[in-house]
Amino acid sequence: ERSGKWLVWYHEEMEQHYLRRLTIITELKKALMSEHTELSMVYQPKINLETSQICSVEALIRWNNKALGFVPPDEFIGIAEQAGLIELVTSWVIERTLIDLASFREAGYSFTVAMNLSTQDIQHPELLGRLNSVIRREGLLPEDLELEITESDLVEDAATATDNLTKLSNLGYRFAIDDFGTGYSSLAYLKTLPVNTIKIDKSFVLNLATDRSDQQIVRTVLNLAKVFGLEVVAEGVEDETSLNVLKKWGCNIAQGYFISKPVTTEGLFEWLANSPY
Ligand code: C2E
Ligand code: CA
Ligand code: CA
Ligand code: CA
């Protein structure tokens, strides 16, 4: 009787789960096909720890749906990938982000913009063409952009990924390995991939001020990066102690709530006018 009850509960949980998934797929399709008004981009500053100046902003997608409310990207990006919608999402992100980047240039700012790509994006060569044509249309250069890809994405089809990344790299695009330390990455990738930057995942940075093992991990990654001549970004910097420690250890770039939360373009212009960075 007990297990019967559990099964009913399990069944309801699953139904809830699939219903939400289905709703996300249907609603995301609508959002992508319509005037895209439900989707938006926010930007989070990164600062160069040597100069204490802003050097880049990371573009992060936001989705506020009428029925579902705010849906976090960690939830809908994965679903979009599985439902075959990620190409449309990435196209939208490219379009919106590069228009915004052009407006940052117009306002006289020279920082780069970091865009997140997903697994399937780097397997698709059409992405290359789309990115290039929007870059040209907006009067920008590949160097104005940085593409963030996660470690685990590279493992799936390493040969194709390396191939496409090399092509993009030859055109002037720069790459960062995101969520560094969380995947099953073989360090050999660092040798063969045209990567300029690694981003230490926030799970190792959030408690950096107090956690001894996080401190060890971060120092190890910084040493490793030095050997490979890579630039290091620490994400998830939430307090001043962590920021100072990273600076002392020679980390190049920091990003996190202590510096700024992700903000809208208007919010970014306001931050640029008022922040000490
Ligand atoms: P990510 O690329 O690792 O992005 C960093 C996440 O950490 C962001 O969450 C950001 O808001 C958050 N964050 C930044 N600083 C701090 C901090 O100091 N403390 C804490 N606790 N969190 C911080 P967000 O915006 O919810 O994005 C989650 C993930 O969704 C991203 O992880 C990325 O994998 C994916 N994502 C977001 N936007 C896009 C996009 O346009 N395209 C693709 N393909 N993926 C995206
Ligand atoms: Ca990222
Ligand atoms: Ca991360
Ligand atoms: Ca990620």
Per-residue pLDDT of the chain (277 residues; tens, 9 = 90+): 566 777 777 677 778 888 999 999 999 999 999 876 899 999 999 999 999 999 999 999 999 999 999 999 999 999 999 999 999 999 999 999 999 999 999 999 999 999 999 878 888 878 878 899 999 999 999 999 999 998 766 666 778 878 888 999 999 999 999 988 887 666 777 777 888 999 999 999 999 999 999 999 999 999 999 988 999 999 999 999 999 999 999 999 999 999 999 999 999 999 999 998 9
Instruction: Kindly provide the ipTM of the predicted complex, given to two decimals.
Output: 0.98
Using most ligand atoms within 8 A of CB, pick from 60, 70, 179, 238 the residue to mutate for ligand 1: 60
Distance 6 CA to ligand 4 centre (A): 34
Using most ligand atoms within 8 A of CB, pick from 36, 119, 202 the residue to mutate for ligand 1: 202
DSSP state of 175: E
With a 6 A CB cut-off, is 77 part of the ligand 1 pocket?
A: yes
- Confidence (pLDDT) at 8: 72
Q: Quick one: how many helices (H) and strands (E) in the chain?
A: 11, 9
Token pair in block for residue 87: 């190409």
Among candidates 52, 45, 48, which has minimal Cα distance to 232? 48
What is the atom index within ligand 1 of the atom nearest the CA of 148?
A: 2
Distance 73 CA to ligand 1 centre (A): 7
Ligand closest to CA 200: 3
With a 6 A CB cut-off, is 161 part of the ligand 1 pocket?
A: no
Q: The dihedral of CA 94, 126, 185, 83: what is its sign? A: positive
pTM: 0.94
Q: What are phi and psi of 276, to 5 degrees?
A: -75, -5
- CA 17/CA 94 separation, integer angstroms: 30
Q: Which residues surround ligand 3, an ion (CB under 5 A)?
A: 179, 201
- Confidence (pLDDT) at 122: 84
